[in-house]
Amino acid sequence: MATHPAARGLNDDAAVLDLGDETLILTHDALVEGLHFLPGQDPADVAWKLVATSLSDLAAKGAEPLGVLLGYQLGGDDARFVAGLDDVLSHYGVPLLGGDTVGNVADKAGSQVLGLTAIGRATHRPVPSRGGAQVGDALWLTGALGQAMLGLEALRSDQGDSLAYRRPMALLAEGWTIAPMATAMMDVSDGLLLDAARMAAASGVTIALDRSAVPIAAPEARRDEALRWGDDYQLLFTLPASTPSPVPASRIGQVIAAGSAPLLLDGVPPAGPLGFEHG
Amino acid sequence: MATHPAARGLNDDAAVLDLGDETLILTHDALVEGLHFLPGQDPADVAWKLVATSLSDLAAKGAEPLGVLLGYQLGGDDARFVAGLDDVLSHYGVPLLGGDTVGNVADKAGSQVLGLTAIGRATHRPVPSRGGAQVGDALWLTGALGQAMLGLEALRSDQGDSLAYRRPMALLAEGWTIAPMATAMMDVSDGLLLDAARMAAASGVTIALDRSAVPIAAPEARRDEALRWGDDYQLLFTLPASTPSPVPASRIGQVIAAGSAPLLLDGVPPAGPLGFEHG
């Protein structure tokens, strides 16, 4: 489907739509139980993640959320889902504008499917995209990677702190602050290496990462895993080389002329899978 | 879920959001195979209906579509779905802004779930709602009812013309024309009697329908069925009594002071179920 003209834009960057004096940012995500969240996971956490990850897409555009619309398939602990939905909408001060609740076919109930549309307004134009990185720019990353990786392990083993996996944060204020300066920006949802390669491809450049400069929250022995793990929702952005980051962030690489590979890690293309490709 | 504050607005009227000089109209619908479309139905027709019914929600607000976002779960004949999606988007000149494609869990594939968000801009403000009918207004209906009922029977029996069921039309131009004059407007998606009762309840009035004035496309013996069948997506609207309809339409009733029942049919509350309550 992804190659068909009508399907272009699916699973890509959030949509940008000029309307009157405003620019809208729109994103839609679907989650399938067993693919995108664990069967048996607390529905309150699923609701949080559904909303927060969409708000993270808005953050990467420097957008202020205006509201969300929910497509909810009944089938789990619906009261817990609503409790988590309340938590996340209250936390970010975002209204539930509408949506649809649907049931299941009695004899053919499968995995629960959830959909969320988030709509926001640009706080700065032009709106940052993943395609604007310029040769000579520096590459920056907010926060540390590997927190969600450790969080998922904690959740699965029922030992330790799983919060980073269960309730990721959308870095809205950081996005608004970075947007006026960034040449390119995106959130790291599928792993740093994969998402950096996507930024490079969209920008028509090569990105050269400095492996040891990337802050990780995991033990050093797991650095290569942490660089490939998603779900941390940190912001990845490029700035002109002489521009300091306006938010706490680490300089983790630079943008160079397009070479034979979109991504270099300490000077060579990284081996193996770059990250998590969503099904 | 419907009683919880966080869930308010789901399955209701489209959302209306003022933004700068514009007013946005937003609607999200989810369809489940086996509940909202037939298993084995041509995916091209499913795609058409998914989009057209959401555009009908915009039509009832007098809104001009700006685009749609799709949540697509793989699992049917995806190429046919894309073909139908192309058809309907081309027909209405509406862009696919984005969305998400997701898979299935291998051993737990259930009914396919689809989601669609449609976004539009108001062409007239205040935006018509279902809650504005005034005592003394006349009630009007575009077109005839029962076409989708006959169409579904044709599809199931593989005899006759099923187009009205498979490819309903969104009455966008009619909605734009009616919006500046209407005191209330909605589309008839779940049956005339049920939707008229909803309009009456939202407006705090009683609606008195003239049973024989409603145009039906079915044999006269099936009039009571046609008044309860949904899926025709005609526009139901109220105008001051002295205002003629600006589009071809039939005057089918009047708005009276709220009585013991929200809806009267030839002077008495209709017997039995009013229409189709979506699961």
- Helix (H/G/I), strand (E/B), else coil: B264: strand
**Residue range A235-242: mean pLDDT, rounded:** 98
Q: A1, exposed or middle or buried, with CB in 10 Å at 0-12, 13-18, 19+? A: middle
According to the model, what pLDDT value does residue B75 have? 83
Report yes or no: A135 at the B interface, CB cutoff 8 Å: no
Tokens at residue A29, please?
A: 């995500």
More confident residue, B243 or B109: B243
Closest Cα of chain A to B156: distance in Å? 19
Report the 10 Å Cβ neighbour count for A232: 28
Q: What is chain B's alpha carbon radius of gyration, rounded to the nearest angstrom?
A: 19
According to the model, what pLDDT value does residue A11 have? 59
Asked whether residue B38 carries a pLDDT value surpassing 80, the answer given is yes
Lowest mean pLDDT among A128-142, A241-255, B48-62, B72-86: B72-86
The alpha carbon torsion through B207, B210, B211, B215 (nearest 10 deg) reads: -100
Q: Cis bond leading into A128, ω under 30°?
A: no
- Cβ of A96 within 8 Å of Cβ of B69? The answer is no
Report yes or no: B8 at the A interface, CB cutoff 8 Å: yes
Tokens at residue B155, please?
A: 């599809």
- Cβ of B96 within 8 Å of Cβ of A24? The answer is no
The length of chain A in residues reads 279
- ipTM associated with this complex: 0.89
CA distance B266 to B140: 16
According to the model, what pLDDT value does residue A1 have? 36
- Helix (H/G/I), strand (E/B), else coil: B200: helix
Asked whether residue A3 carries a pLDDT value surpassing 50, the answer given is no
Q: What is the pLDDT of residues A200-214, one digit of tens each?
A: 999 999 999 999 999
Name the residue in chain A with its Cα closest to that of B33: A105
Closest Cα of chain B to A185: distance in Å? 18
Report yes or no: A201 at the B interface, CB cutoff 8 Å: no
Q: What is the pLDDT of residues A168-199, one digit of tens each?
A: 999 999 999 999 999 999 999 999 999 999 99
**Residue range B240-252: mean pLDDT, rounded:** 98
Q: How confident is the model at residue A151 (pLDDT cuts 50, 70, 90)?
A: very high
Region of residue A20 (phi > 0: left; psi between -120 and 50: alpha; otherwise: beta):
left
CA distance B111 to B9: 25
Q: What is the pLDDT of residues B53-97, one digit of tens each?
A: 999 999 999 999 999 999 999 988 999 999 999 999 999 999 999
Best of B77, B105, B127, B189 to substitute, by most chain A Cβ atoms within 10 angstroms, is B105
Evaluated on CA atoms B194, B198, B204, B210, the torsion sign reads negative
The one-letter code for the residue type at A173 is: A
CA distance A225 to A263: 17
Report yes or no: A277 at the B interface, CB cutoff 8 Å: no
The one-letter code for the residue type at A30 is: A
Name the residue in chain A with its Cα closest to that of B35: A105
CA distance A184 to A199: 8
More confident residue, A6 or B69: B69
Q: What is the pLDDT of residues A41-95, one digit of tens each?
A: 999 999 999 999 999 999 999 999 999 999 999 988 999 999 999 999 999 999 9
Cβ–Cβ < 8 Å for B58, B94: no
According to the model, what pLDDT value does residue B1 have? 35
Q: A19, exposed or middle or buried, with CB in 10 Å at 0-12, 13-18, 19+? A: middle
**Residue range B257-267: mean pLDDT, rounded:** 96
Name the residue in chain A with its Cα closest to that of B28: A99
What residues does A72 pair with on adjacent strands? Answer: A101, A114
Name chain B contacts of A86, Cβ cutoff 8 Å. Answer: 5-6
Best of B3, B18, B23, B32 to substitute, by most chain A Cβ atoms within 10 angstroms, is B32
Q: How confident is the model at residue A115 (pLDDT cuts 50, 70, 90)?
A: very high
Report the 10 Å Cβ neighbour count for A173: 10
Report yes or no: A26 at the B interface, CB cutoff 8 Å: yes
B5-122 and B138-265 in the same fold: no
Average pLDDT value for chain A: 92
CA distance B91 to A105: 32
Cβ–Cβ < 8 Å for A89, B6: yes
CA distance A272 to B79: 32
Second CATH level (architecture) for the domain A138-265:
Alpha-Beta Complex (3.90)
Report yes or no: A278 at the B interface, CB cutoff 8 Å: yes
**Residue range A6-31: mean pLDDT, rounded:** 82
Task: State phi, psi for A3 to the nearest 5 degrees.
Answer: -90, -10
Q: How confident is the model at residue B5 (pLDDT cuts 50, 70, 90)?
A: very low
- Cβ of A27 within 8 Å of Cβ of B279? The answer is no
Q: Domain ranges in chain B? A: 5-122, 138-265
CA distance B14 to B28: 8
Residue showing tokens 């494609």: B101
HSE (side-chain half, CA atoms, 13 Å) at B169: 14
Q: What is the pLDDT of residues B194-228, one digit of tens each?
A: 999 999 999 999 999 999 999 999 999 999 999 99
Q: Which of B259, B145, B260 is nearest to B211 (CA)?
A: B145
Asked whether residue A6 carries a pLDDT value surpassing 60, the answer given is no
Q: Which H, E and C letters describe A178-214, residue by residue?
A: HCCCCCEEEEECCCHHHHHHHHHHHHCEEEEECHHHC
Region of residue B210 (phi > 0: left; psi between -120 and 50: alpha; otherwise: beta):
beta
Report yes or no: B278 at the A interface, CB cutoff 8 Å: yes
Q: Which H, E and C letters describe chain A, residue by residue?
A: CCCCHHHCCECCCCEEEEECCEEEEEEEEEEEECCCECCCCCHHHHHHHHHHHHHHHHHCCCEEEEEEEEEEECCCCHHHHHHHHHHHHHHHCCCEEEEEEECCCCCCCCCCEEEEEEEEEECCCCCCCCCCCCCCCEEEECCCECHHHHHHHHHHHCCCCCHHHHCCCCCHHHHHHHCCCCCEEEEECCCHHHHHHHHHHHHCEEEEECHHHCCECCCHHHHHHHCCCCCCCEEEEEECCCCCCCCCCEEEEEEEECCCCCEEECCECCCCCCCCCCC
Give the C-alpha distances (Å, rounded to integers) separating A268 from A209, A211, A216. 9, 11, 20
Report yes or no: A71 at the B interface, CB cutoff 8 Å: yes
Chain B 83-122, CB below 8 Å of chain A: which residues? Answer: 85-86, 89, 96-105, 108-111, 113, 115, 117, 119, 121
- Cβ of A100 within 8 Å of Cβ of B28? The answer is yes
Asked whether residue B12 carries a pLDDT value surpassing 70, the answer given is no
Tokens at residue A171, please?
A: 């870095």
According to the model, what pLDDT value does residue A110 have? 75
> At the topology level of CATH, where does B5-122 sit?
60s Ribosomal Protein L30; Chain: A; (3.30.1330)
pLDDT above 90 covers a percentage of chain A that reads 84
- Order of strands, edge to edge, in the sheet holding B235-239? B184-187, B235-239, B138-141, B250-257, B205-209, B263-265
Best of A21, A50, A78, A117 to substitute, by most chain B Cβ atoms within 10 angstroms, is A117
What residues does A256 pair with on adjacent strands? Answer: A206
Average pLDDT value for chain B: 92
Name chain B contacts of A77, Cβ cutoff 8 Å. Answer: none
Would you give the DSSP letter of residue B5? G
The alpha carbon torsion through B151, B157, B161, B163 (nearest 10 deg) reads: 50
Asked whether residue B4 carries a pLDDT value surpassing 80, the answer given is no
Closest Cα of chain B to A130: distance in Å? 16
Asked whether residue A7 carries a pLDDT value surpassing 60, the answer given is no
Best of B86, B87, B88, B101 to substitute, by most chain A Cβ atoms within 10 angstroms, is B101
Report yes or no: A247 at the B interface, CB cutoff 8 Å: no
Name chain B contacts of A108, Cβ cutoff 8 Å. Answer: 34, 110-111
pLDDT above 70 covers a percentage of chain A that reads 93
Name chain B contacts of A35, Cβ cutoff 8 Å. Answer: 102-105
Lowest mean pLDDT among B10-19, B78-87, B160-169, B185-194: B10-19
Q: How confident is the model at residue A109 (pLDDT cuts 50, 70, 90)?
A: low
